[in-house]
Chains A and B, each alone.
Chain A
């Protein structure tokens, strides 16, 4: 199956042809795949070399000059390393940009801690104005990339090598209702959805699917709420969206279980699937956590 990253490459190359306002900024990562686009639009496809502070600052400067920049690299170097540039050279300047990462939490399982950024969404949560997309499928990623390129604001798109079998998002930005039940709500974010669907098979629970994490679609959580017990299953730091659930349920006594990537360093290599198991995010582990918490 085509990866999200391959789709990002083909769709962005197409968008560059159609929109003279669009610019792509790279820091060597994925530069080979964008080489044809760079030859065609040398002033708008910019490979800066291994310079991630500059990656974000140049995106900010491009926006100040009236361009719509897309900046791209591995999540740990797109968010963590240049975090102050994100805060100041984008947000504080009022400069809009699209930040597209790959790798995320454990895609680069063999590379270890240096190439993993399970805290990226939590970090962006400390800043105002960010839309955060966590597509579960290349089709969702494509829609989000197209919409972000045509917009003006701050958009983070977290591409993964993991994905669902089919796209599950029905309305852009809204949580999809995969199943309705009475004993609680399970919210699956992005590529973990297939594991969550398998984990909740036969359980009397509501299952929601989010391909967009921010803004958090609290309205759908409220509208489908029966028993106010909520389980979050996120492919990044466990509990990242717990505060969003609290905001979505004002005045309602509720319980939240935040499942996701653990805070403790694994110090393991291996495969993404092995990391998923180690973090308790495979279907069997998820089922045990969910049934234990919801008493179903």
Chain B
């Protein structure tokens, strides 16, 4: 399935077309996990076009931070980290094993480049809020924080504590991308992005598989306000 020779592995050895092959190293070519797939394009656009972070700068204070809050189904995340050189692709086949650093929920102490340990929903956005506040307090104003959550995850009330406060704090280093595959049991009538807009955030809605649209939305200016992007994909996709 890989279109690039494994010998090309390194910081820039893999492209988007290689991601299914990297994922298949974890699944053993069995059926891919739907949640992992739902985040694939957003993750790729972030790491390929948006985030100012690389394996060489992953320890720098001034790096951009990406926090995967929706920690379940992390195969797309591991595949992108491997493609971008944070993670050795040779680790991928061990996925989920006792001796593997790659679990069904990522652990920041085990995987290079992983900013937070996640799995329990509703923790990433509040943690990202604190991280953005910390970067501001340290004067690291060029560093940005991106957090990926799911539309079902937004059910968790802890997110709403963060959404309201981030607006009050004018936390413009904070970026939320909501992968919306209509998995929230009771839904978000009017569009999930309106929940952020109502709180004074900059908020956009884009097709979640369209790389150009995602890049444009994720990098759109939003002075003085935190920024949310709803990346919409098909229900259950």
Residues of A within 8 A of B (CB): 23, 43-44, 46, 48-49, 51, 53-54, 57-67, 69, 84-85, 88-89, 92-94
Other than the given A65-B132, A65-B138, 11 more pairs (CB < 8 A) read A43-B137, A48-B161, A54-B126, A57-B123, A58-B130, A65-B133, A66-B61, A69-B130, A84-B120, A85-B123, A88-B123
**B58 CB within 8 Å of chain A:** no
Residue of B nearest to A23 (CB): B137
| Interchain nearest-CB distance for B63 vs A (Å) | 11
In the complex, chain B residues whose CB is within 8 Å of the CB of A54? 126, 129, 158, 161-162, 165
| Interchain nearest-CB distance for B204 vs A (Å) | 24
Interface size on B, residues (CB 8 A): 30
A62 touches B130 (CB 8 A): yes
**B214 CB within 8 Å of chain A:** no
A67 touches B161 (CB 8 A): no
B133 touches A62 (CB 8 A): yes
Residues of B within 8 A of A (CB): 61, 108-109, 115-117, 120, 123, 126-138, 140, 157-158, 161-162, 164-165, 168-169
| Interchain nearest-CB distance for A39 vs B (Å) | 15
A85 touches B126 (CB 8 A): yes
Return 16 A-B CB contacts under 8 Å, by A number. A43-B136, A49-B164, A53-B157, A57-B126, A60-B127, A61-B134, A62-B131, A64-B115, A64-B130, A65-B133, A67-B134, A67-B137, A85-B123, A85-B158, A88-B120, A94-B109
Known: A53-B126, A57-B126, A88-B123. A65 touches B116 (CB 8 A): no
In the complex, chain A residues whose CB is within 8 Å of the CB of B134? 23, 61-67
A57 touches B109 (CB 8 A): no
In the complex, chain A residues whose CB is within 8 Å of the CB of B140? 65
A57 touches B158 (CB 8 A): yes
* Partner pick for A61 among B108, B127, B138, CB 8 A cutoff: B127
| Interchain nearest-CB distance for A28 vs B (Å) | 12
In the complex, chain A residues whose CB is within 8 Å of the CB of B169? 46
| Bound complex: CA A123 to CA B168 (Å) | 33
